[in-house]
Chain A
């Protein structure tokens, strides 16, 4: 069986925590490492995803057994059985997605990985295994950095499809590097897999910093490579190529909007004032522009009218994005000849749906 790594957010009656799982089948998934006092037959809810690649699905499960690793590469952890009734369609949908992505991503094309790892043997084994696994014809490029500082130099010099970061690094730890990456507009959406021998504390530090997945060392590279194949496909998907520029003076609204749209696979560029908007607009060539209406320097509808009226944007939807009442938003949008509007009050799911709609209509 081809295994790949899933992010698994576990919700019990007492707490929520993030771990990872393997071996998704219609019957079960092994969720490794962490069981926090749970016992057999306990019912839990698991949210499964490959961040930036597969939309999360919530699955109700029963803990069927615990497994202890006997040999290198064995998976230790909880053996979960999905509920037979309600969650099954979502599990099957997830499986369908995985099968499709596996099928289409049978080889890598121009996939560039940065491995941040100070252990020379791990680096060499990773590179050797990856080239054996993907074959020498694949355009797989693996760069190495021994420290967070060196990694940052490489990250600012090349575009990466995946960053794999060891938690324990000399000087600054892996979580610090991940935080820096997530705070950097141009690089914030690069998939990040954290690895470590540090167990739960390393996992919590790196996931809190913004890692998409965490894998305990020793890493089973084959499983990581399968996950890379899924990510490789996604990096070529249409949504990943779509850039949305968002102008809003609320730092929180910007952060939430970015998180929601990036989780849906878009590239998001943000600006919190007009100067930043001008700079990013010139730099990123957006496919869609969202403009908050009530900005301190100018109304968003005036910005939209100016952009459209002076033909600074052609075939790029400019959409008002505000918490104003819908009728007021519709009126302002119409007066400014904006492409449309999205109400913040409708929430993140609606935001993603409407962005897809506007991008679809613009295609």
Chain B
């Protein structure tokens, strides 16, 4: 399956960068953006898991759980979610430098 991973690396990084952009935008207004954030984190976890980039899965899942908590309970700070997104971005740069 390594050849499939190599084949899709470019598409993965391109898709992940777009997802991270949307996450940053969603974090500007968590009232309206929280469901977008949950969706993007969830999709990133799935895509990275499938492709075997497992380092992204745990962090994206943690972010998703936290975002769901914020959606359900409200009132939480977006600061730690922002840190999660920045960490995902850093890992993506490490996997495939710009």
Binding site for B on A (CB under 8 A): 9, 16, 47, 56, 249-253, 255-257, 259-260, 263, 292, 294, 296, 322-325, 343-349, 351
Known: A263-B4, A323-B61. A348 touches B50 (CB 8 A): yes
User: CB of B6 within 8 A of chain A?
Assistant: yes
Q: Which of B1-17 contact A (CB under 8 A)?
A: 1-8, 11-12, 15
How far, in whole Å, are A323 and B52 apart by their CA atoms in the complex?
12
Other-chain contact of B50, A9, A253, A325 (Cβ < 8 Å) = A253
**What distance in Å separates the Cβ of A162 from its nearest Cβ neighbour in chain B?**
21
Other-chain contact of B43, A9, A253, A255, A347 (Cβ < 8 Å) = A253
Known: A253-B46, A253-B47, A253-B50. A348 touches B11 (CB 8 A): no
How far, in whole Å, are A344 and B45 apart by their CA atoms in the complex?
8
- When distances are taken between beta carbons in the complex, the residues of chain A under 8 Å from B39 are 294, 296
- When distances are taken between beta carbons in the complex, the residues of chain A under 8 Å from B54 are 345, 347
Interface size class of B (residues with CB under 8 A): 20 to 34
Interface of B is mostly: helix
A252 close to B52 (CB less than 8 A)? no
User: Interface digits, B51-76 against A, CB 8 Å rule (1 contact, 0 not)?
Assistant: 11010010011000000000000000
A-B complex: 7 closest residue pairs judged by Cβ atoms? A345-B49, A323-B46, A323-B45, A344-B46, A348-B1, A344-B49, A347-B52
- When distances are taken between beta carbons in the complex, the residues of chain B under 8 Å from A47 are 2-3
27 contacts between A and B (CB under 8 A): A16-B6, A249-B43, A250-B46, A250-B47, A252-B8, A252-B12, A252-B15, A253-B47, A255-B8, A256-B47, A256-B51, A259-B7, A292-B46, A294-B42, A323-B57, A323-B61, A324-B42, A344-B50, A345-B46, A345-B49, A345-B57, A346-B49, A347-B50, A347-B52, A347-B54, A348-B50, A348-B52
- When distances are taken between beta carbons in the complex, the residues of chain B under 8 Å from A16 are 6
| Nearest B residue (CB) for A51 | B3
How far, in whole Å, are A47 and B5 apart by their CA atoms in the complex?
14
How far, in whole Å, are A294 and B39 apart by their CA atoms in the complex?
8
How far, in whole Å, are A256 and B11 apart by their CA atoms in the complex?
10
| Nearest A residue (CB) for B58 | A345
| Nearest B residue (CB) for A56 | B3
- When distances are taken between beta carbons in the complex, the residues of chain B under 8 Å from A9 are 3
B12 close to A347 (CB less than 8 A)? no
- When distances are taken between beta carbons in the complex, the residues of chain B under 8 Å from A292 are 46
**What distance in Å separates the Cβ of A145 from its nearest Cβ neighbour in chain B?**
28
How far, in whole Å, are A344 and B64 apart by their CA atoms in the complex?
15
- When distances are taken between beta carbons in the complex, the residues of chain A under 8 Å from B46 are 250, 253, 292, 322-323, 344-345
**What distance in Å separates the Cβ of B59 from its nearest Cβ neighbour in chain A?**
12
How far, in whole Å, are A347 and B49 apart by their CA atoms in the complex?
5
A252 close to B3 (CB less than 8 A)? no
**What distance in Å separates the Cβ of B50 from its nearest Cβ neighbour in chain A?**
5
